[in-house]
Amino acid sequence: MEVSVRPFTAEPGFTEDFCAVRDFLVRLNADEVRTPGFLWARWEWAFALPFQDTTALDRIGVWEQDGHVVGLATYEQGLGDAWLVVDPDHRDLLSAMVDHAVDRLSADGRVRILVPDDDAELAGHAAARGLVRAEDGEPNALLDLTSDLHYVLPDGYRTVSLADDWDLRAFHRLLHRGFGHAGEPDYGESELAWRLRSTASPSQRADLQVLVQSREGAYGAFCGVWLWPGSAYAMVEPVCSDPGLRRLGLGRAAVLEAVRRARDLGAQVAYVGSAQTFYSRLGFQPEVGGTWWVTASG
C-alpha cells in the first residue's frame, strides 16, 4: 500500500484528525520509547492550551498508509519551529518531511527543525536542504520510577489532586505566578475558562494532576503527569511553584507524588523535557535530546 501525504484538518480542537495523530504517537512508543522529545502527551498539551496558532493547522503534514498515520511534520505553538515524527518502517519519508517543514512550516521564510541527537540520517537530510546546526536545542531527562520517591512536606501542607475538590481561581493564580508573571492574574471569565479547559483534555487524568495545599487552602506547587492506559512511561508537564514558597520542598513533593501515582498505575519511567538542576536533584537522568537545525542566514 502506497503512502500518501495530506494536510491536517483546519478545524481546531480535539478532532478526529487530532485523535489519529495522538494514536499514532501512542502506537509509535508502545513497545519502546522512540520519541522522548515528542510523546503523545506533548501533542495533546499543545492543543489543550490557548497559545497554539489555530489558523495554520492545515499546514501540518500527515503521512498515511492504509488509513493509519505513519509520519507527522508539525509545529507546536506557531509556525517557524518544526518537529518531525516518523514510523521506523517509513524512514524513507524523512527527506520529504524536511521539505514539507521548510516549505509549509516556515515563518517569514525561516524555519528550524528539532533533530534528535541520535538521528544522523535526519540531520543529513536537514543539511542537504540547506539548514545548519545551531548551538541550542531541547533536553530530555528520565526518572526510573523504581527508585526512591520519598518526600517530606513541611507541617501544615498536604498533597491533593484535581480529582478532589479544588479552587479554580487559586489554581489559576498559582500557575500565573509560578510561571513568572508578576502581580495578580486576570480572573475574567474567558481566562478562567481556558485554564479549566487546560486541565480537561481527552486523555488527562485528574488524579495525576497534583497540588500541594496549605492548611489554609492556598496552593504552593503543582505537577501534571500524563499516562496512557497500560503504558510503561509517563510524561511530566507542567510543573511550577509559587515564588513566595520556594525552597520548602513543595515542588519536589508535587512531582514525586504525581509520579508515584503514575507508578502505581503501571508506569516504570517518567520523562520531562528539561535539564534543570531541580529535576536532577529528584533523580532524573539525561536522556537523548534534540538540536535545532535552522535556515541558513543570507
Q: What is the mean pLDDT of the chain?
A: 97
Look at strands 157-161 and 131-144 and give their pairing.
unpaired
pLDDT, one tens digit per residue, over 129-159 is 999 999 999 999 999 999 999 999 999 999 9
Residue 286: which pLDDT band, with cuts at 50, 70 and 90? very high
Give phi and psi for 270, each to the nearest 5.
Answer: -135, 140
Asked if 245 and 279 count as a contact pair (C-beta separation under 8 A), the reply is no
Cell 522522548 locates to: 36
Q: What contacts 257, CB < 8 A, 6 or more positions away?
A: 151, 159, 210, 223
Structure confidence at residue 296 (pLDDT) = 86
Asked if 255 and 290 count as a contact pair (C-beta separation under 8 A), the reply is no
Whether the per-residue pLDDT at 176 is higher than 70: the answer is yes
To the question of domain 3-139+290-295 being in CATH 3.40.630.30, the answer is: yes
Mean pLDDT of 206-217: 97
Whether the per-residue pLDDT at 279 is higher than 70: the answer is yes
Mean pLDDT of 214-220: 96
Please list the residue range(s) of the chain that carry CATH number 3.40.630.30.
3-139+290-295, 147-267
Q: How far is CA 104 from CA 63, 71, 81, 91, in A?
A: 14, 15, 11, 20
Mean pLDDT of 214-236: 97
Q: How far is CA 185 from CA 156, 170, 216, in A?
A: 26, 10, 20
Look at strands 233-241 and 269-272 and give their pairing.
parallel
pTM (two decimals): 0.96
pLDDT, one tens digit per residue, over 10-69 is 999 999 999 999 999 999 999 999 999 999 999 999 999 999 999 999 999 999 999 999
For residue 197, the surrounding DSSP H or E stretch is helix 189-197
SS3 per residue for 229-245: CCCCEEEEEEEEECHHH
Asked if 253 and 221 count as a contact pair (C-beta separation under 8 A), the reply is yes
In DSSP notation, 41-110 reads: HHHHHHHHSTTS-GGGGGGSEEEEETTEEEEEEE-SSSTTEEEEEE-GGGGGGHHHHHHHHHHHS-BTTB
CATH superfamily label, 147-267: Gcn5-related N-acetyltransferase (GNAT) (3.40.630.30)
pLDDT, one tens digit per residue, over 77-88 is 999 999 999 999
Share of the chain above pLDDT 70, in %: 100
Mean pLDDT of 239-268: 97
Structure confidence at residue 1 (pLDDT) = 80
Structure confidence at residue 219 (pLDDT) = 98
Mean pLDDT of 158-164: 98
- Cα–Cα distance, 23 to 29 (Å, whole number): 10
Whether the per-residue pLDDT at 298 is higher than 70: the answer is no
Give phi and psi for 209, each to the nearest 5.
Answer: -105, 100
pLDDT, one tens digit per residue, over 99-133 is 999 999 999 999 999 999 999 999 999 999 999 99
